[in-house]
Structure 1
């Protein structure tokens, strides 16, 4: 007797309408990618006799003004292809900064509601940017409460907690698609040192360092990955001690980077070197670079530049020639009332002058 196919247990959950909705959202993300020009790789001049070239990858020119535009697009694409995002789903994120601004923009593009869980004390300018992109802000008392509240809101409304700190490292395809590392190496192709000695990034989620570090190994490139971290952050002490459970009980004063815990997206085993940068050094460097570019850069860019200065000093001491690349993460205009306000800086107890002097001596910058 032949088997009867019709008797096989069969549950069909296919939904052509949902697949069409997802396909349209993927198309919108791809269209946005095609409309977006690549970001510039700016060359900053160092003394010619040093034989060292320095480049800034200017991520502030994305339509939402920061490196996080790449991440937001990748996170939403990841949610769509995994079947997590459906019509009417409220998307929730734990972020008071550039990620929330970029995600609000993408959510509006896809016609889904967006809520950013932010701590009390978030600047009015950041809230205004999120709301201008169509997002809504939900306030909690402290930064430590943000993730738990995002989970609670998602459960309450049947929404999706996008969770950048977990998904950043896996949402971006480190082999190529929407990959900042590919862009950097393509833009360096005709430069005197097309394979840099170092790429320097700071860590917020850890997703950018994971993407670049994996790409370097995948392409068998000798470039070192250096992660710059800030005072109030668990990344540096956790990396040094090999402790993924390391904690810091203070909030970072450099917006967008530094975390009270080692986030899941941070991959310590692909980081070659870490530099811990004092907060006043980050702000001194942000102002120093801003004066030479003729436009303001954010504090995280300053953090990167201080680490670059340390690496350049080491290269000079060893007589090495080569190139370094770091990121201009976002515009300093977002921090006019803080990092670029002398009264605010003084209230933090910071003296920027000694660090400015060090940078002028060790990293005398011009425009290439």
Structure 2
């Protein structure tokens, strides 16, 4: 026995868990993904932390399992017939898996994604032949443009259409109860003590968690990883930047319905992880462990490291890494995207950043106009300012999330319209955004030709407004040195 209580994990090969070899179709290659131990990132921890690399599924994510399970269940029930069309609402990965499996089985696929999905995911969907519909991600659940409502409508309109409905399809958690959980138990020789997974639809944490709790007679603790503002962990549902995890809640949503794929009674506790922490962990994983992982993996692994911190050498923490960072190279691994929002950069330079050059208070809050304000109320809030960003109004006030900016309330525009009009009927375009971690010359170039107030973001939240001339002058000053 090793100090962790088992010998299998360190030397395990995928073939020891399941049959690896020739398959009759892509479906046969799904599952049996390896565990990899974290070393440098977990330095100083006594507990062992292992990552289950779900991006090694043939279609690139943990959603391969649920997609196959849902399609096969629909075929057995007769809901999906030969020549039919698979329809789904997704942030990307489930749609990619459904589209590929559908292509292999002769079905057509139609996928609805929110507009915050990465360009790489949309390109992959189209590569597999899916018809892609992009819908605004900031719609309340009852709105006709809400992604799931669009998918439901399309499934009803298309002859032979079948809505996969991962959020409420029992075949989603069943896939993980039948495959993911048993794999983890076998790979660790039953030594796993803590299981960590992000909560999106809830299928992975529920299904695998149910199996591990049952087989261990309740000994395995199940921990859900959740974005800081997600409603699952007690946040108010404000937008965040890590894709494919959490539960966003629009303030105008009439009834907040959680997915039935998420079995709350399985989860012992939730660890809430902010975007910046998740991204820092992502960057460390790629550079210290050689693991290029997606955003939700950063959230889950950050939570797993927290879980492991107080544990002793007898503990084994297993965490799900849902997908690869290759689907997010234009976001989480791109300094232009990171800097514009004030997130930590991959490559720190010698040039002063916006935060340093303009002495930006990182704990500040941008003054904003609520989305439900009237013109008269908005004019009073402006208080002489030329413009203020308008954000979704929530019951609990908080920092301005840049992802929720609707547009700008302009003093000039509002002076010309009736007091009782809703301010949302008279908005200019959203104000430009630069980040505190942006090199000052790049920020100045980004807003070149613009005159007026600019939102400065730190870790995705607006911390102050500055005039474009201040940024331009600081950029000129730096270049003139």
Short-chain TM bin: 0.7 to 0.9
In the TM superposition, what is the alpha-carbon distance from 1:36 to its structure 2 partner? 4.6
Q: 1:58-84: per-residue Cα shift (whole Å, max 9, x none)? A: 111111111111111111112112221
- Range moving further from structure 2, 116-125 or 71-80: 116-125
Distance 1:121 1:43 in 2: 32
For the pair shown, the structure with the greater C-alpha radius of gyration is 2
1:222 corresponds to which residue?
219
- Range moving further from structure 2, 257-266 or 92-101: 257-266
- Does the alignment pair 1:338 with 2:331? yes
Q: Gaps spanning 5+ residues in structure 1: where?
A: 1-28, 239-246, 354-368
The answer to which structure, 1 or 2, has the higher relative contact order (CA under 8 A, 6+ apart) is 1
Give the number of aligned pairs: 307
Q: 1:37-91: per-residue Cα shift (whole Å, max 9, x none)? A: 6211112237898542111111111111111111111111121122210122211
Cα separation, partners in 2 of 1:162 and 1:30, compared to 1, 3 Å: farther
1:321 corresponds to which residue?
314
Cα separation, partners in 2 of 1:143 and 1:105, compared to 1, 3 Å: farther
1:277 corresponds to which residue?
273
- Does the alignment pair 1:196 with 2:197? no
2:124 corresponds to which residue?
129
In the TM superposition, what is the alpha-carbon distance from 1:120 to its structure 2 partner? 3.3
- Range moving further from structure 2, 211-220 or 68-77: 211-220
2:165 is aligned, of 163, 166, 169, to 163
2:299 corresponds to which residue?
303
Cα separation, partners in 2 of 1:124 and 1:310, compared to 1, 3 Å: closer
Distance 1:36 1:116 in 2: 21
Distance 1:109 1:86 in 2: 14
Distance 1:105 1:329 in 2: 17
2:174 corresponds to which residue?
172
Determine if contact 1:308/1:324 at 8 Å carries over to the other structure. Answer: yes
1:350 is aligned, of 337, 343, 351, to 343
* Aligned-partner SS, 1:252: coil
Distance 2:38 2:316 in 1: 11
Cα separation, partners in 2 of 1:277 and 1:337, compared to 1, 3 Å: same
Distance 2:331 2:286 in 1: 15
In the TM superposition, what is the alpha-carbon distance from 1:322 to its structure 2 partner? 1.4
1:115 corresponds to which residue?
110
Distance 1:310 1:49 in 2: 12
In the TM superposition, what is the alpha-carbon distance from 1:33 to its structure 2 partner? 4.3
TM-score, reference length from structure 1:
0.77
* Aligned-partner SS, 2:151: helix
Q: 1:80-118: per-residue Cα shift (whole Å, max 9, x none)? A: 122210122211100131111111101101111100012
2:239 corresponds to which residue?
251
* Aligned-partner SS, 2:120: helix
Q: 1:287-313: per-residue Cα shift (whole Å, max 9, x none)? A: 111112224111111111111121122
- Does the alignment pair 1:96 with 2:91? yes
Determine if contact 1:225/1:271 at 8 Å carries over to the other structure. Answer: yes
1:244 corresponds to which residue?
none
Q: Gaps spanning 5+ residues in structure 2: where?
A: 1-22, 140-145, 250-257, 347-481
Report runs of 4+ in structure 1 exceeding 6 Å deviation: 46-49
Distance 2:173 2:205 in 1: 13
Distance 2:171 2:229 in 1: 22
2:50 corresponds to which residue?
55
Distance 2:187 2:218 in 1: 16
